[in-house]
Amino acid sequence: MSALTVSGPLRFSGRLQVPGDKSISHRALMIAALGRRPCAIRGLSDGQDVVHTRRAVEALGARVEDRGAHGVIVTGGLAGARGAIYLGNSGTGIRLLTGLVAGRGFTTVLDGDDSVRRRPMDRIIDPLSAMGASVRGCGQSASLAPLRIEGRPLRGIDYTLPVASTQVKSAVLLAALAAEGPTTVREPAPTRIHTEEMLAEAGVRVERRGGSVTVWPGEVSPPDIDVPGDPSQAAFWLVGAVLAPDSDLTAGSVYLGQARGGFVDVLRRMGADIAVDPATGDIRARSSRLTCTRVAPEELPGCIDEVPILAVAAAAAEGTTVFEGIGELRVKESDRVAAIVEMLGALGVQSRVEGQTLTVVGAGAARGFTGGTLDSRGDHRMAMAAAIAGAVSSGAVTVEACEAIATSYPGFARDLARSTGWTP
């Protein structure tokens, strides 16, 4: 296990091209694997999660050929895999693939690391079973991975999500492609819409109305795709630039669609100097003084993956910030509620959890962080949030088990060096 030590305060400047969006990369590979004609994907995320999805679609029968830096040509065709498919740390990978194979004519076993084996799968098993699928958890309980999926004929359903989860919506919509009749998914709050956007672009009949989306079964014919930059990765650098002195950083060509840019709204409300160029996807952030805010439950799905780094921003703000409706954070790659409280405690910042609300008592400035040592808990986003906290504090932060970062951002340390001059 290796450790990363970052001490500040550093200055963030220049322009960074963050890796290709992880959510879009997973879907691009999966949808292309269903396609009939070869499809070029450029700018894929180089994170391990996406590498696992690539290997999964290859194991299922698709052909993926490398074409230079993060570009591939995918020739679709799913025939079934020989052994169990390992998805590493990826909840998105295992849940979406379960939907993808549920209505196909073969049996698939999907597995992952210890974190994936702890994550709730009943949330996909329930709606997929209602469609006629056979999905069985073979882990510690019948709702935990490894998952055994026996391909069955499926029927369309009208399903209201009990939690606002894109992964669940997407698993159902991907299964819907092989079902009889249309499938409708209704969501309690707006979540990311990559699956329905990309299916529509691939020629599938998709209708979106208010909080619902309906997909009709059929062939997919995905166009070539350029994966835009990942806003969730950009968020680390942008918060770094806001909190550090004399900083001015631009994250280039970032995806700006529904439910991905919520963190920009939260930071702006706190007083951050952030400008978004909708034409290019460039987001520019400059040093700012932050004040506290309230993040409401209905806002959370739009910034769910950015809460760890927003908590660092809240820790540096003037006043007390509350994040409401945080329950879903407990079932991410780690229990992020516990992980955030531990991280802030190590930085010398007070926080507490009452029911579904996380309260952070801001130190007033990031240089007030004391620095300390933290275990990543195997969670890439916690590791990166802690590293940025180190970069803006006057102490040193050591992140133990920092190899988790490669789950989504193998070039994180390189980009930290590029944007701040940091040396390991």
Give the full edge-to-edge strand order of the sheet including 183-186.
158-160, 183-186, 212-215, 206-209
The residue from 248, 328, 335, 403 that contacts ligand S3P (CB under 6 A) is 328
Q: Pick between residue 92 and residue 393 the one whose CB is nearest to ligand S3P.
A: 92
Residues 214-273 that bind ligand S3P (CB under 6 A): none
| DSSP assigned state of 393 | S
Q: Are 258 and 164 in contact (CB under 8 A)?
A: no
Q: Which residue has the tokens 């703000």?
A: 317
Residues 189-208 that bind ligand S3P (CB under 6 A): 191-192
Distance CA 217, CA 206 (A): 10
Q: Which amino acid is at 208?
A: R
Q: Pick between residue 99 and residue 390 the one whose CB is nearest to ligand S3P.
A: 99
Distance CA 180, CA 339 (A): 43
CB of 226 to ligand S3P, least distance (A): 18
The residue from 166, 183, 334, 398 that contacts ligand S3P (CB under 6 A) is 166
Helix residue spans in 61-165 (DSSP H)? 91-102, 114-118, 122-130
Please state whether beta strands 85-86 and 107-111 pair in parallel, antiparallel, or not at all (unpaired): parallel
The residue from 41, 206, 304, 311 that contacts ligand S3P (CB under 6 A) is 304
Residues 44-103 that bind ligand S3P (CB under 6 A): 92
For helices 166-176 and 194-201, angle between their N-to-C axes, nearest 10 degrees: 30
Helix residue spans in 223-335 (DSSP H)? 231-243, 262-269, 307-316
Q: Left if phi > 0, otherwise alpha if psi is -120 to 50, otherwise beta: which for 408?
A: alpha
To the query of whether residue 415 is one of the catalytic residues in this protein, the response is no
The residue from 111, 196, 305, 342 that contacts ligand S3P (CB under 6 A) is 305
Q: Pick between residue 168 and residue 242 the one whose CB is nearest to ligand S3P.
A: 168
Stretch touching ligand S3P by CB under 6 A, among 6-14, 34-42, 52-60, 166-174: 166-174
Number of residues that bind ligand S3P (CB under 6 A): 11
CB atoms within 10 A of CB 223: 12
Stretch touching ligand S3P by CB under 6 A, among 67-75, 78-86, 161-169, 216-224: 161-169
Q: Pick between residue 166 and residue 247 the one whose CB is nearest to ligand S3P.
A: 166
CB of 398 to ligand S3P, least distance (A): 25
Distance CA 381, CA 365 (A): 22
CB of 306 to ligand S3P, least distance (A): 10
165 in contact with ligand S3P (CB under 6 A)? yes
Q: Are 357 and 375 in contact (CB under 8 A)?
A: no
Q: Pick between residue 307 and residue 341 the one whose CB is nearest to ligand S3P.
A: 307
Q: Pick between residue 320 and residue 356 the one whose CB is nearest to ligand S3P.
A: 356
Stretch touching ligand S3P by CB under 6 A, among 39-47, 63-71, 165-173, 365-373: 165-173
Q: Pick between residue 8 and residue 262 the one whose CB is nearest to ligand S3P.
A: 262
Distance CA 152, CA 72 (A): 31
CB atoms within 10 A of CB 1: 10
The residue from 6, 9, 16, 23 that contacts ligand S3P (CB under 6 A) is 23
Q: Pick between residue 165 and residue 321 the one whose CB is nearest to ligand S3P.
A: 165
Q: Name the phi and psi angles at 334, rounded to 5.
A: -135, 180
21, 282, 305, 379: the active-site residue: 305
* Segments of 91-230 assigned E as strands: 107-111, 134-137, 147-150, 154-155, 158-160, 179-180, 183-186, 206-209, 212-215, 225-226
Stretch touching ligand S3P by CB under 6 A, among 162-170, 200-208, 249-257, 390-398: 162-170
Q: What is the CA radius of gyration of the chain?
A: 21
Q: State the residue number with the nearest CB to ligand S3P.
A: 23
Binding site for ligand S3P (CB under 6 A): 23, 92, 165-167, 170, 191-192, 304-305, 328
Q: Catalytic site residues?
A: 305
